[in-house]
Amino acid sequence: MTPSKLLIAAAAGAASALLFLGLVLQSGSAVSLALAAPIPVFIVSLGWGSLAGFIAAIVSAVLVSTLSGIVSGGLLVFVAMTLPAAIAGHMAGLARPAAEGEILPPRPGVKVADGGRPALLWFPVERILFAIALMAALACIGLGWYLGYDVEALKPEIVDALRQSGNAGQMSDGDLDAVATLLLSLVPLVQPAVLTLVLSVGLYLAAWITRISDRLPRPKDDLPTALHLPPLALVVFGAALAASFFPGTVEHLALAVCGAFGMAFTFVGLAQFHARTRGRSNRGLLLFATYAAIAILSFPMFLFTIFGVYDTVKRMRSPPRR
């Protein structure tokens, strides 16, 4: 690695650390900045190579631990943010020459040479999304084990926070206990889903930025038609959904997997919606109304999760493409 690339990787790691540092220091206003922490690592990985991405991930973790004096803060940003970003950026940069006799029609993500033979086959988007969901689930499970996630131990702190926030009103102690239990039971489901969302959107934005700077070798993917999930994702999601009915630790582990892969299937459903509305005169209004409904009401998201599952099942039942 050249000194210039090493310097760029270190700068990207420092930028990621500064974005995440406010969350470690418990600054509520810095949450939005912390969600952008993977983007510098994505950018340097896509534009300057996988090694630069991994160096940026390590630098970010070391700086967070050093500046905050909290070792767990550096571990948090490394496991949940920068390491998955470096791995996903590495996967997005993978490509191989077409095999001898491999004739494929032109499609998004493939550079085609003369005669219809692709010069390079890039790592499929569906496998990148699968890897992001898997890494998000494993990161939340690992951090939950390391930090000692315990509903009964954390419940008194949540009850005190509800009382101090002024939202408790005339609620009794029993009602506050029930609300705290509900909130804590949703953490294993929501946290991996949010992490999958952050990593996926961060990769998309980083690819857009890197492409503008003309540093991205990968051709632009047509996400509405290229974004799917492999059949293994459906198996993992179904097994986790079934295991979530078991109480205790098994339930928490299963909910983490359900949250991560549920968000991944939601992305697939939204991509199918984008593809099916192409060519419609009211497409802009449909997309705006859909995303507004998701942002305000949240529950319409589950409809697109079902669409994503249906797309995967349909592709499993269709004959393999030659």
Answer yes or no: are the C-beta atoms of 57 and 82 closer than 8 Å: yes
Q: What is the pLDDT of residue 69?
A: 85
Answer yes or no: are the C-beta atoms of 185 and 151 closer than 8 Å: yes
**pLDDT of 135 over the 90 cut:** yes
Q: 60-65: long-range contacts at Cβ-Cβ below 8 A with a sequence spacing of 24 or more?
A: 60/13, 60/14, 60/16, 60/17, 60/20, 61/17, 62/13, 63/13, 63/14, 63/17, 63/18, 63/21, 64/17, 64/20, 64/21, 64/24
Answer yes or no: are the C-beta atoms of 75 and 146 closer than 8 Å: yes
Distance CA 263, CA 64 (A): 28
Work out the average pLDDT over 116-140: 87
Q: What is the pLDDT of residue 321?
A: 54
Distance CA 202, CA 299 (A): 23
Work out the average pLDDT over 78-89: 94
**pLDDT of 320 over the 80 cut:** no
Query: What pTM did the predictor assign?
Result: 0.88
Q: What is the pLDDT of residue 109?
A: 46
**Is the pLDDT higher at 180 or at 76?**
76
Comparing CA positions, the residue from 313, 311, 218, 315 lying closest to residue 267 is 311
For the stretch 50-63, what's the b/e string if a residue is b when 16 or more beta carbons lie within 10 angstroms of its beta carbon?
A: bbbbbbbbbbbbeb
Answer yes or no: are the C-beta atoms of 312 and 234 closer than 8 Å: yes
DSSP class per residue in 34-94: HHTTHHHHHHHHHHH-HHHHHHHHHHHHHHHHHHH--HHHHHHHIIIIIHHHHHHHHHHT-
Percent of the chain with pLDDT strictly greater than 90: 54
- pLDDT tens string 148-172: 777 777 777 777 776 766 655 666 6
- Separation of CA 42 from chain center: 12
Helix H or strand E segment including 292:
helix 283-297
Token pair of 216, please? 């991205």
- Dihedral, 268, 287, 292, 128 alpha carbons, nearest 10: 20
- Average confidence score pLDDT of the chain: 85
Token pair of 9, please? 């990787």
- pLDDT tens string 18-62: 888 877 666 555 677 888 999 999 999 999 999 999 999 999 999
**pLDDT of 114 over the 70 cut:** no
pLDDT band at 322 (very low <50, low <70, confident <90, very high): very low
Sheet holding 118-122, edge to edge: 95-97, 118-122, 110-112
